[in-house]
Amino acid sequence: MYSSYLIIDEIRRIFNELISRFLGFIPGFIQALILLIIGYIIGKIIGASIRIFLAKVLGLDRWLEMKGLEDAAFGIKVSAFISGLVKWYIYFLFIGAAISTLNIPMLEPYMYSFIEFYPRIIAAAVIILFGLIVGEWFRERILETDVVFKEHIGVILKFIATVIFFVIALNSLMIDATPILWILAIFIGGIIIAISVAVGVALGFALKDEIKPYIQDFIKQLVERKEKKEENAE
């Protein structure tokens, strides 16, 4: 009988402790929920304001369309992309505050580290976006010329420009991009050699009839010199 009372008291104690913890958790949960709602509203407002400023005030999207660069970033609207990055930064700030309110020690350090690192992610994303636009600008300018193989040259220039800006973006993220630079240098060197060989072969075929008499005359002179040397030797 005594042991039964002990078991009942233990169950009552555990139940009371759970209720106490739950009741203590409710105020923090409500505060976290309020923070998330406020953060969502503020993020939406700031994101929309930045998008309107970039698209309507500065006319960034329209300017890119006028320059034929609207598809440089695979159809992504620059104003929407940048405003989205800032909007999510606001969201993450309030998510971090909500986690801090809920007092979750396991998540707080990781969330704070991510929030501190997120501006670098924004910078890297904007750099890559700018690199795509610059690369597309180079490609469009090459296509406007009469250069031989201009389509291929334009694609190569866009690729090189994009990789260069990608390397800069990696550096902003504190990531060593030295191997990529070496690969890029080898790639550019290979392209230069290939173009040089192609141009040389093309010129050879194009000028073969013009340079043929000169080659024959050169060979004739070599033969005559050889014969004279042999006569002098005798």
Least confident of 68-72, 164-168, 190-194: 190-194
Q: 48 lies in a domain?
A: no
The pair of three-digit structure tokens given for residue 33, joined into one six-digit string: 């929920």
Q: pLDDT per residue over 130-165, tens digit each?
A: 888 888 888 888 888 776 667 877 888 888 888 888
Q: 215 lies in a domain?
A: no
The domain total for the chain is 1
| Ramachandran quadrant class, 103 (left: phi over 0; alpha: psi -120 to 50; beta: rest) | left
Q: Which of 52, 103, 57, 41 is nearest to 82 (CA)?
A: 52
Q: Tell me the residue range of the domain where 177 lies.
A: 124-204
Q: What pLDDT does residue 42 have?
A: 92
Q: What pLDDT does residue 110 have?
A: 82
- In angstroms, the first-to-last Cα distance of the chain is 138
- Residue position matching structure tokens 């707080």: 108
Average pLDDT across the chain, whole number:
76
Q: 189 lies in a domain?
A: yes
Q: What pLDDT does residue 75 have?
A: 72
Q: What pLDDT does residue 143 have?
A: 81
Chain centroid to Cα 125, Å, comes to 5
Pick the residue with more confidence: 68 or 221? 68
Q: Which of 182, 187, 181 is nearest to 168 (CA)?
A: 181
Please give the torsion angle defined by the CA atoms of residues 59, 62, 66 and 68, in that order, rounded to the nearest 10 degrees. Answer: 120
Q: What pLDDT does residue 55 have?
A: 86
Q: 16 lies in a domain?
A: no
Pick the residue with more confidence: 45 or 221? 45
d(CA 51, CA 220): 76
- The answer to whether the beta carbons of residues 180 and 170 sit under 8 Å apart is yes
d(CA 115, CA 53): 25
Q: 169 lies in a domain?
A: yes
Q: 180 lies in a domain?
A: yes
The answer on pLDDT for 96 being more than 80 is yes
Q: 35 lies in a domain?
A: no
d(CA 118, CA 126): 12
Q: 185 lies in a domain?
A: yes
The answer on pLDDT for 95 being more than 80 is yes
